[in-house]
Amino acid sequence: MADAAIVRVQHCGTAIFCRRVPPRCPACGLPLPRGLADAPLRLPSPFRQGHRQPCALLLRPSGGTFLGGYDGKSDLHVGITSSNGVVYNYDEEGVHREQSRWEECISIPLVQPDMFGLLQQWDTLLEEFSVGEAWLPCRYDEHEHNCYTYALAFINSILAAQGKQQISKSEFTERFVIPQTKRASKYITVHQALTANNIYIVPLPQHENQ
């Protein structure tokens, strides 16, 4: 999270990613224009400080961090934040309430700012849900009753209380998780390339080039 920002410059049919814009295009060798149309764009990080994300679903690698060697294949751990950033998450030891370890996460907000009633009840609902027998350590199963099961069950309990239709695991994953993880994957690719080299060059599709 402390790495320098990634910037993107477009020139000669390529997207050039770097930490610091070079004076010349590394693809063609010509000086890079300084006009407004060619100004570098900062690539926004898809990762957030999880403990500053109230009432959200968080994803992080089960081990290590996204920018610290994540290979894109290892398991992700899922948690739900309280209104003040305490992360509730479930594993083989039961439900944890953590105030650290979630500093670099994908964050999916679950409550809109204008939902005052739900915001006021959120912490009570989350705590009451988390002490249920379903989340005892003995009930944990790596594949069938895990951290994702816990998070989705809480989300569905909120939807049910509001009289709304519940959401399946596949639908929630498709609508909310996959778009975020795809964006994160692209960012990780660029980050890893810039860790190995100062410049990362990607040919642009023809329509973007034009």
Cα–Cα distance, 102 to 108 (Å, whole number): 14
Each residue's pLDDT tens digit, 17-29: 999 988 899 999 9
Cα–chain-centroid distance for residue 178? 10
pLDDT band at 71 (very low <50, low <70, confident <90, very high): confident
Domain boundaries, the chain: 7-44+191-203, 47-167
208 pLDDT higher than 70: no
Handedness of CA 21, 22, 27, 31 (dihedral sign): positive
Q: How many CB atoms lie within 10 A of CB 77?
A: 21
Each residue's pLDDT tens digit, 118-177: 999 999 999 999 999 999 999 999 999 999 999 999 999 999 999 999 999 999 999 999
6 pLDDT higher than 70: yes
DSSP class of 118: H
Q: What is the pLDDT of residue 29?
A: 94
Render 64-106 in DSSP notation, one character per residue.
S-TTTT--S-S-EEEEEE-TTS-EEEEETTEEEEESSS-SSBE
- List Cβ neighbours of 130 (8 Å cut-off, separation of 6 or more): 88, 90, 95, 97, 154
